[in-house]
Amino acid sequence: MNEAVVLTPERILEVTEDVLRRFGLAKATVVDVARALDVSHGSVYRHFPSKASLRQAVAKRWLDRANAPLEKIAEGSGPAPARLERWLRTLFAIKHKKVCDDPEMFATYLTLAREACEVVKAHKERLADQVAHILADGVKQGAFHITDVKAASRAVFDATIRFHHPAHSEEWSDPALASRIDAVLALLLRGLEAPPRKR
pLDDT in tens, 108-155: 777 777 777 788 888 889 999 999 999 999 999 999 999 999 999 999
What domain count does the chain have?
Answer: 2
* Mean pLDDT score across all residues of the chain: 88
Number of alpha carbons in the 13 Å side-chain half-sphere of residue 182: 4
pLDDT at 2: 56
Domain of 104, in residue numbers: 55-192
Does 2 map to a domain?
A: no
Does 128 map to a domain?
A: yes
Considering the domain architecture, whether residues 20 and 116 belong to the same structural domain is answered as no
Average of per-residue pLDDT across 153-165: 93
CATH number at residue 21: 1.10.10.60
Q: Which of 24-38, 99-113, 142-156 has the lowest mean pLDDT?
A: 99-113
Considering the domain architecture, whether residues 43 and 66 belong to the same structural domain is answered as no
Does 197 map to a domain?
A: no
pLDDT at 199: 57
| 43-46 own/partner pairs: CB under 8 Å, 24+ apart | 43/3, 43/7, 44/7, 44/12, 46/7
Considering the domain architecture, whether residues 88 and 119 belong to the same structural domain is answered as yes
Considering the domain architecture, whether residues 26 and 120 belong to the same structural domain is answered as no
Considering the domain architecture, whether residues 81 and 102 belong to the same structural domain is answered as yes
For residues 164 and 123, the answer to whether their CB atoms sit within 8 Å is no
pLDDT at 108: 77
pLDDT at 26: 82
pTM: 0.83
Of residues 86 and 98, more confidence is placed in 86
pLDDT at 114: 75
Does 177 map to a domain?
A: yes
